[in-house]
Amino acid sequence: MKSILLVEDEPKIVQLARDYLEHAGFAVLIASDGRSALAVARTRRPDLIVLDLGLPELDGLDVARALRRESNVPIVILTARDDEFDRVLGLELGADDYVTKPFSPRELVARVRAVLRRSERSDQPAEVIRAGDVTLDVPRMRAEVGGRAVDLTATEFELLATLARQPGRIFTRAQLLDALHGVAFESYERAIDTHIKNLRRKLEPEPRRPRYVLTVYGVGYRLADDAA
């Protein structure tokens, strides 16, 4: 059974989210402040973390930052609907997805499942993608660029794999969102830009002058088809 750590300080939201997640077959751990969230994450090693950004003790963004320093555990953040700044910053810190409050618990469950699907590829047949000097071992979620191992989050990996399966093909932001979620829900296409930025920072020799993941102005992105 997959375990989900739910980090939230509002009892009503905890109860609602826990009910739905448990009903969906997940074991749910609860933390109601930032410090205990980090402690539970370290000791119980959940399969995914649902993280509210408005927390006592230690802010949710600080929790996300601390988690990312030590693991690639999938993170879905909960943010206020009007707080785009926090949302973008959360994604920049490496969160895999977000749900805005007030949220539908069904949507939360769907997001959790989609993010877990992306991060669990081990039961799929072996697939190695090679595009120029980008090599992706899909079941093991290992990425290599020019012989150098690059440590990617599940979302960054899936994004790069989507581009690398069809090098040179132009993907719009909406298409990339579809590839990540299966269903795009109401996600902002700007989320793709922040994931692309994180990806470039990790794999490009000069992130400001990308050699692999290229911007197609006004449209989206593509992997250089001569990525070598």
Q: Name the site residues for Ca ion (rule: CB under 5 A).
A: 9, 52, 54
Work out how close the CB of 13 gets to Ca ion at its nearest, in angstroms, rounded to a whole number.
8
Q: Answer positive or negative: Cα dihedral of 182, 188, 192, 194.
A: negative
Instruction: CB nearer to Ca ion: give 51 or 116.
Output: 51
Placement of tokens 């072996």 in the chain: 126
Instruction: CB nearer to Ca ion: give 34 or 167.
Output: 34
Work out how close the CB of 9 gets to Ca ion at its nearest, in angstroms, rounded to a whole number.
5
Instruction: CB nearer to Ca ion: give 41 or 134.
Output: 41
By beta carbon distance, the residue nearest Ca ion is: 54
Instruction: CB nearer to Ca ion: give 54 or 139.
Output: 54
Q: Cα separation of 98 and 128, whole Å? A: 29
Work out how close the CB of 23 gets to Ca ion at its nearest, in angstroms, rounded to a whole number.
23
Work out how close the CB of 68 gets to Ca ion at its nearest, in angstroms, rounded to a whole number.
20
Element spanning 136, H or E: strand 134-137
Tokens linked to 128:
């190695």
Placement of tokens 């826990």 in the chain: 18
Q: Cα separation of 96 and 195, whole Å? A: 9
Work out how close the CB of 56 gets to Ca ion at its nearest, in angstroms, rounded to a whole number.
8
Sequence-ordered alpha helix ranges (H) in the chain: 11-23, 34-44, 60-70, 84-92, 105-119, 154-165, 173-181, 190-203
**C-alpha distances in Å from residue 86, one per residue of 41, 99, 121, 126, 176:** 22, 12, 30, 37, 22
Q: Cα separation of 198 and 174, whole Å? A: 18
Cα-Cα end-to-end distance for the chain:
42
Instruction: CB nearer to Ca ion: give 4 or 196.
Output: 4
Instruction: CB nearer to Ca ion: give 52 or 193.
Output: 52
Work out how close the CB of 5 gets to Ca ion at its nearest, in angstroms, rounded to a whole number.
15
